Amino acid sequence: MKIFKYLLALLILIPGRFFVNAQDIPPSTSLVYPGTDGRLVYIADSLGNKIPDFSNAGYKGGGVAIPYVAVKETVWPVLGDNSANIQAAVDRVSALPPDASGFRGAVLLKMGTYEIKNPVTIKASGVVLRGEGMSDIGTILIGKIPEDRRAVRGALINVNGGKPITVLEETKQEITDQYVPVGGRSFNIKSAKTFKVGDKVLVRRIGNQDWIKAIGEDSVSAGRNRWRPFNITYDRIIVGISGNTITMDAPVFTAVDSRWGGGEILKYNDERIEQVGIENLRGISEYNPEVRTVAYGNMDRPSFEDPKTRYEGNEYYSDENHLNNFIIISNARNVWVRNITALHFVTSVVQANAGSKWITVQDCRSIEPVSIRMGARRFIYQMNGQLCLVQRCFSQKGRHSFVLQGPEASGNVFLFCEAVNPYSTSEPHNRWVNGVLYDNVKAPLTARYWDYIIGWAGANIVFWNCEGDFLVQSPPTATNYSFGHIGINAVIFNAPLQDLTAPRGHVESMDRHVTPRSLYLTQLKDRLGEGAVKNITEEW
């Protein structure tokens, strides 16, 4: 029935006859496409690697509607500093017993303006911080310029569980398969006797010195930035055991290969906080408007001979002695941020740190960040955790607007997002970010080899029906992909830092979108049904 409706929508009605214009039917890709039953078909390479299933990204593992939590404390704005009042209300709700769903209650900040000198921190599960609107007549939090210069790198609001997971090394079992491919969810271990369905586990993908050499990151030219061996850990739940075969809830995003050290599975204790929400707020970072510069301005007149004047342009506000971030999430899972507007922050609207999991950020806006327009600034939506979903979010004048850093950043999705007037590309930015989907994102995008400092920024990255200029390169032992991209496949930002000799990625259907419209939503429908899609979006 679904396929019939889809085809019917493409028919052109002429009296007495139906015609289908073949040019109106989006093409399929060669690696993932709808089968005759409407479900996606995946084509694996000779090693079994395939386009991964990204549908576990988001609150509660994807497809779960964000709940409305009852108000237990109400705060009104007062003259002067409001930090203590808000923190006290958060602490009182944090002390309440959780209900059957794990929620203690919401703190409601009534409409008005709140000056805040000290950060607000949520340290307990089941607490929601809610305003009465993200507009200029809603709930407005003004982060005052910190008196202590060291505090500027902090955030106005912190979700911080305090304790990370505790790995139980004594439970470690070696993966016995020679190769577990990208997109794989099952593997064999020496003995599964101590594991059961429902266990929280880490899957360690080991990367030894031979792997570092294979991907070219042992180069002498890298100097102190030469890579050292490192492991990638995937935070998973066991959903099936058959003999010594383990099946997880979500796939691996870098292949586990015995040549590079193989892999391991371990249990862990989880003391992270969860069921935390921040919603319906506007955050403003106060800054000094007298601090201005022309350096790194419009990026239209590069002068690489003199770094001090590189990219000179029109004068703009460049103060950096103010709050870097609006919201930082650490040691937490099942967290949401929605209906947020942020103005003037140096670095991020939302930053989810490594160790966070199942985060949804949706319907948020970043406007007029204030900083120098150069490196380490304006990483607007920064997802460094796992299985995070950022959807319907907007960035103005960001640099790396939709960005990730580090190998722990995996399985994340950016969906129906847009960056306007950007000063650099949205991208996996640093050291083997792996398994990320940019789905219907309008922004300049890259998945590339950066330079000797950053190296291979991302692996097994997928661009799906995106719009904007882009560059896709593939590292050894992995592939980056572009499907249905409308834009120029070219270097557009940071050209002097590019290695244009790096291998090209897999590109299909340039300048024409492909079917299905959204890979993430189709994968979610295949896994959980149409109801799950309707729980999180009206775009379907």
What is the SS3 assignment for 257-280? EHHHCCEEEEEEECCCEEEEEEEE
Cα(110)–Cα(132) distance, integer angstroms: 6
Residue 353 predicted with pLDDT over 90: yes
Model pTM? 0.94
Q: Of 428, 406, 429, 417, which is closest to residue 353 (Cα–Cα)? A: 406
Residue 455 predicted with pLDDT over 70: yes
Instruction: Give per-residue burial for 416-431: e unless 16+ CB within 10 Å, then b.
Output: bbbbeebbbbbbbbbb
pLDDT in tens, 161-208: 989 999 999 999 999 999 999 999 999 999 999 999 999 999 999 999
Cα(201)–Cα(209) distance, integer angstroms: 25
Mean pLDDT of 403-426: 97
Residue 422 predicted with pLDDT over 90: yes
Q: What is the pLDDT of residue 13?
A: 37
Residue 43 predicted with pLDDT over 50: yes
Mean pLDDT of 109-126: 98
Kindly list the domain boundaries of the chain, sorted by start residue.
Answer: 2-39, 166-269, 288-319
437 in Cβ contact with 404 (< 8 Å): no
Q: What is the pLDDT of residue 245?
A: 98
Enclosing H/E stretch for 73? strand 71-75
Residue 390: half-sphere exposure toward Cβ, Cα within 13 Å:
32
Residue 6 predicted with pLDDT over 60: no
pLDDT band of 101, cuts 50, 70, 90: very high
Q: Does domain 166-269 have CATH number 2.40.30?
A: yes
Q: Of 40, 43, 97, 35, which is closest to residue 72 (Cα–Cα)? A: 97
Q: What is the pLDDT of residue 304?
A: 43
pLDDT band of 432, cuts 50, 70, 90: very high
Name all contacts of 526-535 with Cβ < 8 Å and 24+ positions apart. Answer: 526/39, 526/40, 526/55, 527/53, 527/55, 527/62, 527/63, 528/55, 528/62, 528/63, 531/63, 532/62, 532/63, 532/64, 533/63, 535/63, 535/64, 535/65
pLDDT band of 249, cuts 50, 70, 90: very high
380 in Cβ contact with 348 (< 8 Å): yes
Q: What is the pLDDT of residue 497?
A: 65
| Helical spans, DSSP H, in 312-383 | none
Cα(332)–Cα(161) distance, integer angstroms: 6
Percent of the chain at pLDDT > 70 equals 91
161 in Cβ contact with 333 (< 8 Å): no
What does the DSSP 8-state code read for residue 442? B
pLDDT in tens, 264-322: 999 999 999 999 999 999 999 999 999 999 988 644 444 444 555 555 678 999 999 99
Cβ neighbours for 3, distance < 8 A, ≥ 6 positions apart:
34, 38
